[in-house]
């Protein structure tokens, strides 16, 4: 029997008749025994937030069941369709590759070589010897019942539901009878779109027919003409059938097969590919009659498709370009076929037949008939590539209003594909040594190569624990995330995993369908009449205030008179099930009076639509300073937004207690106190009546800091009104279209600098698209203003900020807050200066670095500056200078692929520039059995915060980590907490657990906080340890308890020395910086805009790491998320304010195929930080900004392409550097046409 990994959201339940379903819970658990797959992803640190972990586990499990000895390539292929937002994929692949013996040998050899070179450093985040062996015989047996049924014919099946009838015919005759009876029925074989259409597009299919078990449609026939493939053969089977034929048959016969197999490599992943009266019809341009319409009559079905052999002088190639290489949805694709004969009279190759077919250039697949006919009878030479461009444009005219946009890019792709086709066919017609006669330079052959990603190679180097530290001490050791195994087995409980309460109701949200409009009326009558509906909730049901906000209460919980964005909440429908609630919510009828929306920064500027902003930094005489400089540059810079794409959607469960207004609110939020405070204001009750509880987050990244209020407040009000538990869990499309993103920015700059590149003065205008409410935008902009200089000295720096008020959902916090946008602007300006001055990108950065004693533009004195240290280290470790020479050589030898390299240093200030936010608290309870319950103000969202807190507690109390447990973050245990954000949570909460353990104890200004929770308990227990030195921990605890010693202690920490205090001390805006530097090398295809990072080296100064595995996980995950921001991830709104990129089908985050082939991380040793717990540093956000090294490497590669084309090196490249922007920046005769 075969095992398949499938996406549960894509495969219809009815197709699983005669199938056995195994979920992650079924292969192992922590109570009995975990499966080796579960153990390895956990111990290899491949599970952070854990929400994606079961999917990866089951993909690997299915691979092992079919192939117990996989190769590295098999493992990477098995994981390519699974998405992870936390880890950066490297540790997941690393853990799974331990099932490959050759990989283990290479890993041990690489670690040994590294260890020999690094002396006091370590490079083993886990030990291979600690992993249990994999014995396939111990896996669950294949169900005998299925083996018995294997050779029996499948019976027909009919399943009738309330709205759908599902048929599974068992013969072709039954299928044809059903098609005659139900001519409009939807056929489902591997059609992964059906579930998406029904759920997200509200398309109703009352009759569905699944012919997947019909023998006649699952046959494969080898004929003299080619291979006939049954219509129900899955793409996975098709790939194997064609691959086998390619291996056995002569090359010339299988050129079509080869092209199809190459396309299948990048057509989604295994999970998607696993789910795919007689007459003959030729699949030519007449086959498709319209969008998703064919020449087939309603009662006809496709039985098989014949894929013909190619002739010896026939060539066939396929091409595809998608937003992400492994995506099945393409921007443009093409199939090109040509027959060429050698003319003995003319000594030339003559085109005898030609077909050029394109997808993505019209609603249907089209054949470029003019271009195809033009080629027939002509000589096959380079002149054709020039002549064919206008014909392709005539065949496939695209207006600027064409759906999907990217008109110029799509037209360029069609022409580029033909150019690649010409070069590939020509190279096959003539051996390489004879290419000179064809007038094709050998440098052009780079256009003919197909992409092949090498298996990833990586090493992580970090400082060993202190030499005098005992082996039992967990501090500074790479221990696994405390919940990793539970996440890998499916036992970890997320908000929506909580069991359903009795009489629980589900909330369906009534959302605005207009970007800006007056609400004239809202009619709930039809919705309330629907089955299962309990009631509706509106602003009239709010007992407190209908306003909320993180900084200023300027948003309505439920809109009353006016809506200011698509997706704004108008009301709630409560029903017995989620499906009933959502369906009824869509039945609410709202009448609007439309107003003109403002969607973009430019529209806001034109309309002067701004929120107040008082954070500007003014410099008297800035214009004179700029103008007196040797050189002056000015221009605009743009960076787009970024969807958080946490894997766990926004959710809330509100549980009313029916006494005195009490309520418990369960919600995955980064800010429990923010929820607590706003909920009580809206409910009209004091804070002591409500408890907010957060177990864990399936990813947050800032998106669950303030925008969780939307769902939590609506759910809480609903629970208060109904007096019943209410649950609300957003679907992915609703989540993405209502909760906001990272702020898009537009910068306008004017800079003066010396002739050798030293910056003198900069005037910078920052425009942020804030959306329809203030939310955290002032704080985001403040962060942009204060941190944009990164590690560079700018003597005169004037900044004018503008908070643009627009009619899109309110944008919000995102990892790095406003720093990525601001630093990107400065790095872009530096790049332009380097080009203008004719110096290298490295030189411009080194000469403008901060030095100790310099003063920032916000008046902090720079100290402990290690920007040059990390920069020098990454240059050495990456072998930058030699590789730059190699890249120059590569670019000379390759015209149509180019490589680029970039180095980016970073100085990232850590902390909150607001005094009250620099505080943390903890509560530690020791029970009489010696177990310890640790609570603190931070939230676990995958970043390993609970793990680090347990390590600190274990170190102080000198007990094993297994004795310490953290249940949740709970406002009744630790009240008034600060949001888990800003890379500060370990600093604040760790110091509340153990405040005395700093690099330098004298920084503790207030002696009353020199001891915190664990030190207090340690000192209370110490007399009993001294009295019974041979006793155990449990003995000492029992003795203390019997002696009436308080075995609970709270801790509190306020950061000293930040911002002005009451004693007149000026203080600092930020106490310290986390430093880092990255070198990234990329390769781009200049004809398509495709790119891939070849190698990344990262060096970080993070002080003395509390847990190297956790910190390296943050570095790698943050870097890949940053790479997504600067290269892949792009939002699109329609002209009426509707978000078009509202799911994984249209919004692309990096996948495992996008990470660098080589990925190296090095933590700088011997760099204690006197300002934070145990000399550590905040690490969550800084690495994200290093992802821009990939952007600037791409820009470097584009520069090389432009040099070949003879165009200027100075050009604008906005972020993200998508395939469209890359291609269109590589000026050549195709883009010029």
CA distance 1177 to 986: 9
CA distance 195 to 508: 20
Burial class, 414, CB count within 10 angstroms (exposed 0-12 / middle 13-18 / buried 19+): buried
- Cβ–Cβ under 8 Å, residues 50 and 487: yes
- Farthest-apart Cα atoms in the chain, separation: 111
80 is catalytic: no
1166: left (phi over 0), alpha (psi -120 to 50) or beta: left
β-bridge mates for residue 404, sequence order: none
SS3 705: coil
Alpha carbon 1105 to chain centroid, angstroms: 26
> Quick one: which of 705, 691, 608, 693 has its CA closest to 650?
705
10 Å Cβ neighbour count for 319? 25
> Quick one: which of 233, 238, 180 has its CA closest to 209?
180
- Beta-sheet strands, E only, within 444-494: 457-463
Alpha carbon 570 to chain centroid, angstroms: 30
| Residue spans of alpha helices (H) in 377-460 | 383-395, 407-429
Secondary structure of 654-670 as H, E, C letters? EEECCCCCCEEEECCCC
Crossing angle (nearest 10°) for helices 53-66 and 36-43: 130
> Quick one: which of 793, 740, 821, 819 has its CA closest to 1178?
819
- Cβ–Cβ under 8 Å, residues 1121 and 902: no
Over its C-alpha atoms, the chain yields an Rg (Å, rounded) of 31
- Cα dihedral 1135, 1141, 1142, 1143 in deg (nearest 10): 160
Alpha carbon 7 to chain centroid, angstroms: 18
DSSP character at residue 155? P
- Cα dihedral 686, 690, 691, 697 in deg (nearest 10): -100
Could you say which of 625, 940, 1015, 1181 is catalytic? 1181
CA distance 1231 to 411: 9
C-beta contacts of 1023-1027 below 8 A and 24+ residues apart: none
Helix (H) or strand (E) holding 867: helix 867-878
Burial class, 924, CB count within 10 angstroms (exposed 0-12 / middle 13-18 / buried 19+): buried
- Cβ–Cβ under 8 Å, residues 705 and 776: yes
> Quick one: which of 925, 928, 924, 923 has its CA closest to 1043?
928
DSSP character at residue 312? T
> Quick one: which of 524, 753, 746, 520 has its CA closest to 630?
753
| Residue spans of alpha helices (H) in 638-704 | 672-683
Tokens of 674: 């923010």
Phi, psi dihedrals of residue 1064, rounded to the nearest 5°: 90, 0
Any residues with CB less than 8 A from the CB of 382 and at least 6 apart, and which? 422, 438, 439, 440
Instruction: Please give the positions annotated as active site.
Output: 1181
């Amino acid at each position: 029997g075969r095992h398949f990994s499938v996406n549960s959201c894509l495969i219809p339940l009815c197709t699983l008749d005669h199938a056995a379903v195994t979920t992650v819970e079924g292969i192992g658990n922590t109570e009995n025994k975990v499966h080796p797959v579960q153990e390895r992803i956990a111990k290899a640190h491949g599970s952070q937030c854990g929400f994606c972990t079961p999917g990866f586990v089951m993909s690997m499990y299915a691979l092992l069941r079919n192939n117990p000895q996989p190769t590295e390539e098999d493992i990477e292929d098995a994981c390519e369709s699974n998405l992870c937002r936390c880890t950066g994929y490297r540790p997941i692949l690393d853990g799974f590759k331990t099932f490959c013996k050759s990989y283990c040998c290479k890993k041990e050899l690489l670690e040994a070589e590294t260890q020999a070179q690094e002396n006091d450093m370590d490079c083993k985040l886990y030990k291979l010897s600690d992993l249990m062996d994999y014995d396939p015989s111990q896996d669950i047996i294949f169900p005998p019942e299925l083996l018995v049924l294997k050779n029996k014919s499948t019976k027909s099946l009919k399943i009738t539901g309330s709205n759908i009838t599902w048929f599974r015919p068992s013969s072709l005759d039954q299928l044809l009878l059903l098609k005659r009876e139900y001519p409009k029925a939807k056929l489902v074989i591997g059609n992964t779109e059906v579930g998406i259409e029904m759920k997200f597009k509200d398309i109703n299919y009352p009759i569905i027919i699944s012919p997947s078990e019909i023998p006649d449609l699952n046959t494969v026939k080898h004929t003299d003409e080619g291979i006939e493939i049954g219509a129900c053969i899955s793409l996975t089977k098709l790939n194997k059938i064609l691959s086998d034929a390619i291996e056995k048959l002569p090359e010339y016969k299988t050129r079509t097969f080869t092209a199809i197999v190459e396309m299948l490599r990048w057509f989604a992943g295994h999970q998607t590919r696993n789910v795919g009266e007689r007459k003959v019809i030729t699949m030519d341009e007449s086959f498709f009659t319209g969008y998703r319409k064919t020449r087939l009559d309603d009662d006809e079905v496709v039985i098989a498709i014949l894929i013909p052999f190619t002739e010896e002088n026939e060539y066939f190639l396929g091409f595809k370009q998608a937003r992400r290489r492994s995506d099945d949805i393409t921007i443009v694709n093409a199939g090109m076929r040509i027959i060429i004969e050698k003319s003995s009279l003319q000594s030339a190759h003559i085109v005898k037949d030609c077909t050029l077919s394109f997808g993505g250039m019209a609603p249907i697949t089209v054949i470029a008939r003019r271009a195809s006919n033009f080629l027939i009878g002509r000589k096959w030479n380079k002149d054709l590539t020039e002549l064919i461009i206008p014909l392709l444009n005539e065949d496939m005219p695209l207006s600027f209003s064409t759906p999907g946009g990217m008109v110029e890019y799509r037209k360029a792709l069609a022409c580029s594909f033909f150019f690649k086709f010409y070069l590939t066919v020509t190279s096959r017609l003539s051996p390489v040594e004879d290419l000179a006669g064809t007038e094709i330079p050998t440098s052009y052959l780079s256009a003919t190569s197909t992409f092949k990603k090498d298996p990833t190679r990586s090493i992580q180097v970090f400082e060993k624990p202190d030499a005098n530290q005992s082996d039992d001490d967990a501090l500074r050791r790479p221990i696994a995330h405390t919940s990793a195994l539970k996440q890998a087995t499916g036992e970890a409980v997320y908000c929506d995993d909580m069991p359903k309460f009795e009489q629980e109701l589900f909330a369906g949200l009534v959302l605005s369908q207009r970007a800006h409009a007056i609400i004239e009326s809202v009619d709930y009558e039809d919705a309330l009449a629907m089955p299962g509906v309990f009631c509706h909730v509106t602003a009239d049901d709010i007992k407190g205030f209908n306003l909320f906000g993180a900084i200023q209460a300027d948003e309505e919980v439920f809109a009353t008179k006016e809506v200011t964005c698509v997706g704004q909440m108008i009301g709630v429908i409560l029903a017995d099930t989620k499906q009933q609630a959502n369906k009824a919510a869509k039945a609410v009828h709202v009448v609007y009076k439309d107003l003109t929306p403002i969607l973009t920064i430019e529209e806001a500027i034109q309309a002067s639509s701004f929120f107040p902003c008082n954070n500007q930094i003014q410099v008297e005489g800035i214009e004179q300073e700029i103008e007196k400089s040797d050189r002056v540059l000015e221009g605009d810079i743009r960076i787009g937004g970024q969807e958080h794409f946490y894997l766990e959607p926004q959710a809330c469960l509100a549980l009313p207690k029916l006494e005195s207004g009490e309520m418990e609110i369960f919600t995955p939020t980064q800010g429990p106190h923010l929820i607590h405070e706003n909920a009580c204001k809206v409910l009209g009750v004091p804070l002591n009546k409500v408890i907010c509880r957060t177990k864990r987050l399936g990813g947050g990244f800032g998106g669950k800091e303030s925008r969780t209020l939307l769902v939590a407040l609506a759910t809480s009000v609903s629970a208060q009104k109904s007096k019943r538990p209410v649950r609300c869990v957003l679907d992915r499309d609703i989540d993405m279209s209502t909760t906001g993103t990272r702020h898009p920015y537009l910068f306008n700059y004017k800079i003066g600098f010396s002739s050798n590149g030293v910056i003198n003065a900069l005037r910078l205008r920052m425009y942020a698209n804030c959306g329809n409410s203030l939310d955290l935008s002032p704080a985001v902009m403040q962060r942009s203003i204060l941190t944009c200089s990164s590690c560079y000295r700018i003597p005169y720096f004037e900044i004018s900020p503008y908070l643009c008020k627009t009619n899109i959902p309110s944008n919000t916090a995102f990892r790095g807050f406003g720093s990525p946008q601001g630093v990107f602007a400065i790095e872009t300006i530096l790049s332009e200066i380097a080009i203008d001055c004719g110096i290298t990108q490295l030189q411009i950065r080194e000469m403008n670095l901060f030095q100790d004693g310099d003063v920032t533009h916000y008046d902090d004195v720079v100290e402990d500056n290690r920007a040059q240290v990390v920069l020098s280290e990454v240059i050495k470790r990456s072998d930058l200078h030699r590789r730059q020479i190699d890249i120059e050589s590569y670019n000379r030898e390759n015209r149509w692929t180019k490589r680029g390299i970039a180095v980016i240093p970073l100085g990232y200030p850590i902390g909150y520039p607001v005094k009250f936010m620099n505080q943390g608290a903890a509560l530690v309870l020791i029970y009489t059995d010696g177990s310890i319950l640790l609570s603190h103000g931070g939230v676990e969202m995958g970043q390993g915060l609970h793990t680090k807190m347990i390590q600190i507690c274990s170190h102080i109390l000198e007990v094993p980590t297994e004795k310490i447990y953290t249940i949740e973050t709970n406002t009744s245990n630790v009240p008034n907490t600060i949001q888990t954000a800003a890379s500060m949570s370990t600093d604040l909460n760790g110091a509340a657990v153990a405040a005395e353990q700093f690099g330098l104890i004298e920084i503790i200004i207030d002696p009353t906080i020199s001891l915190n929770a664990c030190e207090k308990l340690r000192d209370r227990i110490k007399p009993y340890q001294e009295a019974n030195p041979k006793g155990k921990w449990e003995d000492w605890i029992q003795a203390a308890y019997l002696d009436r010693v308080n075995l609970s202690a709270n801790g509190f920490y306020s950061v000293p020395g930040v911002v002005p205090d009451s004693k007149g001390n000026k203080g600092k805006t930020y106490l310290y910086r986390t430093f880092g530097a990255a070198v990234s090398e990329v390769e781009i295809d200049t004809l398509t805009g495709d790119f891939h990072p070849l190698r990344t080296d990262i060096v970080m100064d993070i002080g003395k790491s509390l847990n190297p595995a956790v910190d390296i996980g943050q570095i790698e995950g943050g870097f890949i998320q940053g790479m997504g921001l600067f290269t892949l991830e792009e939002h699109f709104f329609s002209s009426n304010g509707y978000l078009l990129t509202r799911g994984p089908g249209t919004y692309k985050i990096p996948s495992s195929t996008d990470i660098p082939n080589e990925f190296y991380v090095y933590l700088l040793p011997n760099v204690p930080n006197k300002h934070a717990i145990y000399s550590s540093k905040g690490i969550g956000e800084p690495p994200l900004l290093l992802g821009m090294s990939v952007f600037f490497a791409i820009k470097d590669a584009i520069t090389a392409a432009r040099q070949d084309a003879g165009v200027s090196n100075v050009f604008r490249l906005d972020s993200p550097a998508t395939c469209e922007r890359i291609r269109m920046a590589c000026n050549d005769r195709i883009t010029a046409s």
